[in-house]
Amino acid sequence: MSNDLTFCKMPLDRASHLRKNSAWLAGKVSSNDSCFYFYWQNKFLYLEQEIFAFSKNDYPNVSNVISMKSTKNNHHLTFLGLHMNTAHFVFDLSNMSEVELEQWLQSIGQNNEQRTAKFIDFRRSLSLLNAKQASILSYAKALIHWQQSAMFCGCCGNETQSLDGGHRRQCINEKCQTEQFPRTDPVVIMLVEYRPESGPAMCLLAEHHRTPEQVYSTLAGFVDPGESLAEAVSREVFEEVGINVAEVSFVDSQPWPFPNSLMLGFVARATSTKISIEEEELRSADWFTAEQIREFQEWGDDVDGPKLPRKESIARLLIDSWCENQHLS
């Protein structure tokens, strides 16, 4: 099933078989054609809010920082993949001080027709990116988040070193050598439907405390250790609204780099209808028919009344596709 969800249009070939080839990687790092993204504390570098991918050919002074930093500590540089034989890397400058960073940004501006170079918060920059660009930067951000949280060994506390182009870390203690790999946290997100013997089907939507008032969305929650996805769906639905479900079916998935989740979307059939909400998570929850949902406003509309979640979210995909299916039945 194809979809238009944000972060689901990755154009890069991850070329994982090349990550262990350090000579090949070194050649690509020094190549004038390779493409670099620059990251600093949750932000990516932009020139005039439009250019965020830099090659040594086109922006030699921007890329100078690569040789300067990578000789000191190569864990800053991560290989992302290939596009038409061009290697893409992300460079994490988060350890750079604000003073150093400011000097570098000014020099970039001076050498690029006085265009403003600045770091922009990833989430806020999403409106500047198309779906493919957002997918690359979300992948880069998720990898850096993992690297920053895996700097030390969880077994013995020693430092870890970066290997395989930034996709593996290993403890430097020779007696330990524990390895760490990038992690993704699975989250189930589910539309709960009820099909009465007569009359239209209904789906359960809830107002969450974490979203603006009157935005009605699906339920969601992290998968517990030792739990299947269907068990996680049943448990979360019962915990949040006191409803029992059966017939859990997978619909689609979406990487969610805030910070490193994978949203797994389901439809679950309710076997009961009496709602009892978990008040710490939810403001309210109710059953709605497709006809009622079609009257909802859009996220961000400045009017009174129920609103839908953001268009690019998997919650919205679950709601829209459920409503479409009600036309068919």
Q: Which is nearer to Zn ion, 183 or 209 (CB)?
A: 183
Binding range to Zn ion, per CB under 5 A, among 20-28, 73-81, 145-153, 249-257: 145-153
Smallest gap from Cβ 176 to Zn ion, in A, equals 3
- Looking from the CA of 168 toward its CB, the CA atoms found within 13 Å total 11
DSSP 164: G
**Matching residue, tokens 């540089």:** 77
Amino acid at 305: G
Amino acid at 105: L
Which member of 68, 151, 155, 246 binds Zn ion (CB under 5 A)?
A: 155
Smallest gap from Cβ 146 to Zn ion, in A, equals 17
Under 8 Å between Cβ of 195 and 246 = no
Say whether residue 151 binds Zn ion (CB under 5 A).
no
Smallest gap from Cβ 177 to Zn ion, in A, equals 7
Burial of 71 (0-12, 13-18, 19+ CB in 10 A): exposed
Q: Which is nearer to Zn ion, 56 or 169 (CB)?
A: 169
Binding residues for Zn ion, total number by CB under 5 A? 8
Q: Which is nearer to Zn ion, 158 or 289 (CB)?
A: 158
Burial of 62 (0-12, 13-18, 19+ CB in 10 A): buried
Under 8 Å between Cβ of 251 and 267 = yes
Which member of 171, 187, 192, 290 binds Zn ion (CB under 5 A)?
A: 171
Smallest gap from Cβ 156 to Zn ion, in A, equals 3
Which member of 18, 126, 176, 201 binds Zn ion (CB under 5 A)?
A: 176
- Three-state DSSP class for residue 189: strand
Beta strand spans in 64-197 (E) = 77-83, 86-92, 117-121, 160-163, 168-171, 179-180, 185-194
Q: Which is nearer to Zn ion, 26 or 156 (CB)?
A: 156
Say whether residue 153 binds Zn ion (CB under 5 A).
yes
Say whether residue 178 binds Zn ion (CB under 5 A).
yes
Q: Which is nearer to Zn ion, 41 or 178 (CB)?
A: 178
Smallest gap from Cβ 170 to Zn ion, in A, equals 9
Helix (H) or strand (E) holding 103: helix 98-110
Binding residues for Zn ion restricted to 228-257, rule: CB under 5 A: none
The two three-digit tokens of residue 140, written as one number: 């880069």
293-311: burial string, b at 16+ Cβ within 10 Å, e else: beebeebeeeeeebbbbee
Say whether residue 170 binds Zn ion (CB under 5 A).
no
Which member of 16, 156, 224, 247 binds Zn ion (CB under 5 A)?
A: 156
Q: Which is nearer to Zn ion, 87 or 171 (CB)?
A: 171
| Residues in contact with Zn ion by the rule CB under 5 A | 153, 155-156, 158, 171, 173, 176, 178
